[in-house]
Every structure is written in C-alpha cells, then in structure tokens.
Structure 1
C-alpha cells in the first residue's frame, strides 16, 4: 500500500527547506527578538505619544477628543520657536566642537598607535565611566564665579574680576555638552579611520600627494561615515537635553527639553509636552536628512 504524504507535512517541509536556503530569512529570524523589543520599546510609546499630542488638558484630566490645537499653539507662540532655534544652535555648535576635537584623537590612535590600541581607547573614555550628572556638577565647579578657571586667572593676574559669562550661559552648556558626549564621537571616528586601507595612503604619497592633499582626498572622504555617525550620536540627544541647561544654562541657556520636561512635570500638560516632543522629533528628522544630503554631496565633490 502506497502512503500519501500529508499536505501539511509537505508544506512544512518546503517551508523548512526554503528557510535553510534563504539567508535573509535566517537573518530575520536571528533579528526577530531584537525587532520585537524595538517594536515594543519604541513604536508603541511613539504611537501613544502621537495620540496624546492630539488631546487637550481639561482641568486635572485630559479631553481625548482629537484636535491639533497643541500643534497650532506650538507653531504660533514665539516662545516655542525661540527655544527650538536656540536648542538647534547650541546642539549644533556642541556637535561641531566635539567632532572637531575628537577627530585628531581618533586619527592619532588609528594611524600612529601600533601597540595597546585598546588601552588608549579605554584611557580616552575613562572620564565617561562616571555619572553624567557628576560630570555636569564638576563643570559647574570649574566654570563657577569662584571656580577653578576664575580662581586661576585671578591668581595669575590675567583678569581683575571673575568672568561671569562662563557659568549660567549658553557657553557653559556648549562646553559641558561637548565634554559629556565626547566618547560617543571618539568611538565611531576611530572605527571609520581604522578601516581605511593604509596602502591607499602609501599610493597617494608615491604619486606626489602631500599630507594635506592626502588627507582631503583619501582620509576624510573614507572617514565620513564615522563623522556622520558621531554627529548623529551627539546632535540628536543633546537637542533634547534638559539636565545641563537646567544646571548650567541660566535664563539664556534654557532649551526646548526644559520646556518639554516642564509640561510633563509641574505644568501637568502632558498633551502639550507630547506635541512639542513630536515637533522636535520631526525637525530633527528633517535636519538629519538635510545633513545627509549635504555630506553626500561634499563626499562626492571630495572624491
């Protein structure tokens, strides 16, 4: 008697064979736990935030009738636009300074350190093993009216009165952010520089290129992925930072993150805070796309 294979078993067999042949399917299967976590941890809160931004505050509760009143208020009231612009300026300046200062450090380790590179990386990131809040308070002590910098300048006779612009200003926020996020710039910059084929630099030297020309034609374009990654890793979180502006910024250093925290905190206007968060994310996404477009054009021009 000839046995007829079960259709379900036959289908499962074909599915298993396809799964074994398909590298993409195996990749998605390996990524599925992480994708589920990301879906739960990012997509679900984002959907809740978008829904909440369409509500309005009603006394001590919320009116869940959908409306765009919060977005209209965010677009019309000058305070929101002012803080948003200030946040982008402070974050952009901190990002530029951080990448500019960290690039030579990463370059030196990638091209001139031949032994114990991991030790150098650990030493460069050692200050960032401490709490972010402790580092902010440390800069508060350094930049204070009677802090380390003012005391040293007064002792040396370089100034007659303490420098008031160091603390509770945008300068203090930029300096602290640039230091606090430096480790997030060093690592991607080092990885991109380390991957550059050294034979390309040797060939450029043999063809008569000097150090500057070799850097502009080979090193910088090939390290642009690290520069872009470092810029994103710094610009995105620092734009919404509220701890550093709250402790060091003063009235002139308040950023949009402080206003969002205020809406979710003392003001208890969660819908408005959610709307401001969505507006901030939309602007960051738009600026990121513009930055990618500009850097790609610049990379093509350098190449």
Structure 2
C-alpha cells in the first residue's frame, strides 16, 4: 500500500481527498481561522485586562478588617463613596482638569496635524518624528522639567522678574490645577497629533476642490468638509487623552499641591498608605463607570454635531 493510501490523503487516481476533522473545519471556516489568529492577543487581553478588572470588581465588595480583608460581600464601600463628599469633590476635579487638558491638547495639536497633512508634501514622516521627538524621553522627566520651569524661581518667574514685569513670583504657576493642566497637555500631545494627522491625511482632496469650484471659501470648506471628516481623529485623540489623564496621579502629586490633587491620588492612597484595597477598588470601578458614561455622552454629542455640520 502506498504512503498516500495509508494516510488517506489521496485517491488511487492521485487526486487529494477532502480533509476530515479539525483540518477540514479549519479550511472551511474563515471565522475559526480568524479566531485562531486573534488567540494570542485574546489571551493577553484576558490575562492583562479582564482578570485584573474582575479582581477589582470582586474586591470592591469586600471590606478592610485590621491588616486583612473581610471577604463578606457587601456594598458598604459603594455607599461610602456615594455619601462622603470628599470623593465627589475629587471626582469632579479630576473630570474638570482632565477635560480642560484634553481640550487644550486637541486645540494645540490640530493645527500642527493639519499643516503636516495639507501643506507638507515631502518628508512627512520626518515632520511627524520631529513633532514627537520630545516625547521620547521619560514621562517622569518631563513632569520634573515642568516643575523646574513653573517653580517660584523657575524659568518663567525669573524671566518675568528680570524683565521687570512682575515684582514677586507668580504663585499660581506651580502647585495648582494650572500646572497640572499644562503638564498633562504637553505630556499627552503626541497621542493627539498622530490620530489627528491620520484622519486629516485620509480626507479626499477632490472634495475640497469641488467645494472650491462651487464657490466655498477656505473657512466654509473647513467647516463643511475638513472638520466633519476629521471628527474620527478628534474623537480618538480625545479618548486617548481624557481616559488616562482622568486617573493620572503622578503629575498631580508632583505639580498639583492640595488644590490640584485628583481621584488618582486618592486611589493610590487607598492602595498605598491607607492599605484599604477594597475602597481603592471601589473608587477605581466608580471612576471607570463615570468615564464610560462621559464617553457615551461625548459620542452622542459628536454624532449630532457631525450631522448638523453636514
């Protein structure tokens, strides 16, 4: 008996037989092939994202007992988070600071991305690299740099005092919400430039030419064509900045002072010095739920705005 016959993969005429079992299912099902290709990423997502999230959810229903935890299921932490005003103050402040930082970052990065997409015709990748070059350094080093710049004897105050424009250092520059917003806007600018540039680069230039032929001026072309078509990039940039900055605790800890502390600092305190991990997990879940709610509202508003612009 030949090898082909013994393996059952070919007929006596030499034509291959149909595969059976899992191999046949694999060849016939594009969905299965797709899941197999995604399986490494899915495993990483489950281990790195889903399991920690489930642990946080379970732990949020525990309570601290001495140096350990009482695993009895209870909603006491959520009741405390809803009843104590301090948690609401930190949450509102976090959304305020993060929202302002997000708006400032997108407004500053949009013109840069627009210029590269529409007015740079050679070496665009070089321009992108140059714009993101400052962000190759450590996030912590950039925050410390802003601490030096905004300090009482920093670059800004020293320059203004030398020029005779002020007599005493400006106190609102450091250890304030202003300092946190400035540092966050600079630290996350690279995450806004890239999606904005990609969205603007994909716009069909013939649409702008057609609008110009119909008599639309530059402003009208921008409002009717460029801005609506670049909304996906704006939304992506907004989410990429707003979500992580809301829970940031490093920048507020170094630059914020008492008035600039955010919900991330409170969460870090619960997991650290206070050693109340269940309360820290509860605040984390509450923060994620609020972020999800704000994101849904933002998507709804942007869709309505896009429809009105078009």
Same fold (TM over 0.5): yes
1:113-152 alignment, distance < 5 Å: 113-152=120-159
How many angstroms does 1:20 deviate by?
A: 3.0
Paired residues for 1:185-264 under 5 Å: 185-264=192-271
Task: Report the alpha carbon displacement of residue 19 of structure 1 after superposing the two structures with TM.
Answer: 3.5
1:37 to 30, 37, 44: 44
Matches of 1:92 and 1:165, distance apart in 2: 19
Please give the alpha-carbon distance, in whole angstroms, between the structure 2 residues aligned to 1:99 and 1:25.
40
- Could you tell me how far 1:26 is from its partner in structure 2? 2.4
Distance 1:293 1:21 in 2: 40
Return the TM-score normalized by structure 1.
0.95
Q: Distance in 2 between matches of 1:115 and 1:29?
A: 40
- CA-to-aligned-CA distance 1:211-259 (integer Å, 9 cap, x gap): 1100011101111000000000000000000000000001100100000
Alpha-carbon distance in 2 for matches of 1:281, 1:129:
28
* Pairing 1:99–2:121 present: no
Aligned residues of 2:105 and 2:186 also touching (Cα < 8 A) = yes
Q: 1:11 to 1:254 in 2, by over 3 A?
A: farther
The match for 1:69 is 76
Are 1:168 and 2:175 matched, yes or no? yes
Q: Greater share of helix residues, 1 or 2?
A: 1
Q: Which runs of 5+ in 2 are unaligned?
A: 1-7, 9-16
Equivalent residue, structure 2, for 1:58: 65
Stretch deviating more after TM superposition (200-209 or 18-27):
18-27
Secondary structure of the equivalent of 1:299? helix
Q: TM-score, normalised by structure 2?
A: 0.93
Verify the 8 A CA contact 2:200 2:230 in the aligned structure 1. yes
Residue pair 2:18, 2:24 contacting (<8 A) in 1 also: no
Q: How much does 1:161 deviate?
A: 1.3
Name the structure 1 match of 2:115: 108
The correspondence for 2:164, drawn from 154, 157, 164, is 157
Q: Give, in whole Å, the separation in 2 of the partners of 1:105 and 1:45.
A: 38
Name the structure 1 match of 2:56. 49
Q: CA deviation at 1:22?
A: 3.9
> After alignment, is 30-39 or 265-274 more displaced?
30-39
Q: Kindly tell me: are residues 206 and 82 of structure 1, through their superposed partners in 2, closer, same or farther at Cα, counting changes over 3 Å?
A: same
Q: How does 1:261-276 map to 2 (within 5 A)?
A: 261-276=268-283
* Ranges in structure 1 where 5+ consecutive residues have no aligned partner: none
After superposition, give the CA deviation of every residue in 1:22-61 in whole Å (9 maximum; x if it has no partner): 4333222211110111011111000101011110000001
